[in-house]
Amino acid sequence: MSEALHNVAPPGSIEAKDLEHLLHPTTNLKVHHEKGPAVHLEAKGVYLKDNKGKQYIEGMAGLWCTALGYGEEELVRVAAEQMRKLSYSQLFGSKTNEPSVLLAERLKAMMPFDAGRVFFGLSGSDANDTQIKLMWYYNNAIGKPEKKKIISRSRGYHGVTIASGSLTGLPPFHAQFDLPIPGILHTDAPHYYRGAQAGETEEAFAGRLADSLEALIQKEGADTIAAFIAEPIMGAGGVIVPPATYYEKIQALLTKHDIFFIDDEVICGFGRTGNPFGAQTMGITPTTVSVAKAVSSAYLPLSAVIIPEFMYEPFIEQSAQIGTFGHGFTYSGHPVCAAVALRNLELMEERKIFEHAATVGEVFQSRLNGFADHPLVGETRGRGLIGAIELVANKETKAPFDAKQGVGAHCMERCEDNGLIVRSLGDSVAFCPPLIITEDQVHEVFDKFGKSLDETLEWLRHP
């Protein structure tokens, strides 16, 4: 192995050490060994530099998470101050700490539903695992031990742990990992462009998906299904914005069958879609909510599950009978993470970040949609400051490229060469910049993208 490594990285370099020591998450490991890693060195605001001195504009907010951008001194100050004061404490066994309590209070007040209790974790995956466990614990507590299955959707992304990875509806996250586990079901992805039949309106497509969900509920039995989980706008599945009336129809169905709605706001939460939460943009009334990523602008890891009071109440007696509420992480309510997340949310309010994101989001969407006529573009889609452009082999027939051609990946590479960070999700190119991005910087993102897209077309015509 080591000889091959020297072809892409000089011995002793950080690249060589990376190739020797790391197991990279969500990476094609063979391509990684052929091409070597990209080393990020430093970042400020919406700009990032690699170790060769090249600057990039950040079109993806890291992994959809650096909402306030990089290098925010106020968050650095708060983290250092909290580390000096109380670098660690816990929430186990009735202990508590001020930052966690104040963060829970603030999160509850922001929620798009009548929130009761906040449980802290560290990642979107653990939040969604917690969601499943709380559904099971609740239904056992209220004497409905059969009501346990969770319905997720194809192309949904909810994490990678055994349970949250099972919720995820993308094949590479299941293959060879022996997922999904029993009890996790998947229904259709609400992608009108790809899923609609000839001549079908958005409403008719949404109706067909609701019928398909109802058929699944009837087949399994509503009494065996605890909850449905959805990202208001799907992120990693390709930034899929569901069609008109979709959530209206789904929500009515869930209410009719007494099935809870778990709203995964891990990407959509905190201003991303032009409103504080994706639920508001898409007209959802959640039963419970998961948040992570922008809640701390990724300065430190933090996630939270927020549940209504009626779910919490039966936990009290059940935990007493068992002897404890037996769920929690060493770092649930880590005071430094909580202090940073709290200040992050305060800064979002003080600087009117949600309003800013909504305003700049209009320019963003208009630039995004401006690519609709490009010969390579099948669909442009998004809301607020999130979007994607799907590249197709044939605009008229919507025929996709052969996946082996790697057209999306090539376009992403062209973007990187041109100093723009985006993410290819198959042949869709995703955009999700930090919420602090200015109008001029939005133009910079799409000017660079336009050049890269033309270069991709040129490469396809003259390979």
Could you tell me the CA-to-CA distances from 71 to 42, 297, 347 in Å, in that order?
9, 11, 14
CB of 360 to ligand PLP, least distance (A): 22
Q: Name the nearest CA neighbour of 430 among 392, 399, 386.
A: 386
Q: Which helix (H) or strand (E) holds 68?
A: none
**In which residue are the tokens 């910079």 written?**
444
Instruction: Confirm if 428 and 376 have CB atoms less than 8 A apart.
Output: no
Instruction: List the x/- string, 400-429, binding to ligand PLP by CB under 6 A.
Output: ------------------------------
Instruction: List the x/- string, 115-134, binding to ligand PLP by CB under 6 A.
Output: --------xxx--x------
In the complex with ligand PLP, which residue's Cβ is closer, 121 or 243?
121
In the complex with ligand PLP, which residue's Cβ is closer, 19 or 345?
345
Instruction: Confirm if 457 and 376 have CB atoms less than 8 A apart.
Output: yes
Instruction: List the x/- string, 249-288, binding to ligand PLP by CB under 6 A.
Output: ---------------x-xx---------------------
Q: Using CB positions, name the residue nearest to ligand PLP.
A: 124
Instruction: Locate the DSSP E strands across 155-230.
Output: 184-187, 225-230
Of residues 38-77, which lie at the interface with ligand PLP (CB under 6 A)?
63-64
User: Is residue 157 near ligand PLP by the rule CB under 6 A?
Assistant: yes
Q: At 9, list the tokens.
A: 């990285």
User: Is residue 236 near ligand PLP by the rule CB under 6 A?
Assistant: yes
In the chain, what is the straight-line distance between the N-terminal and C-terminal CA atoms, in Å? 31
| Residue 305, beta-bridge partner list | 119, 290
Q: Which of 227, 292, 306, 340 binds ligand PLP (CB under 6 A)?
A: 292
Task: Report how far residue 335's alpha carbon sits from residue 99's, in angstroms, rounded to the nearest whole number.
Answer: 6
User: Is residue 434 near ligand PLP by the rule CB under 6 A?
Assistant: no
CB of 186 to ligand PLP, least distance (A): 15
Could you tell me the CA-to-CA distances from 337 to 86, 327, 364, 412 in Å, in that order?
11, 19, 31, 32
Of residues 192-231, which lie at the interface with ligand PLP (CB under 6 A)?
231
CB of 347 to ligand PLP, least distance (A): 21
Phi first, then psi, for residue 298 (nearest 5°) are 70, 15
Chain residues in the site for ligand PLP (CB under 6 A)? 63-64, 123-125, 128, 157-159, 231, 235-236, 264, 266-267, 292
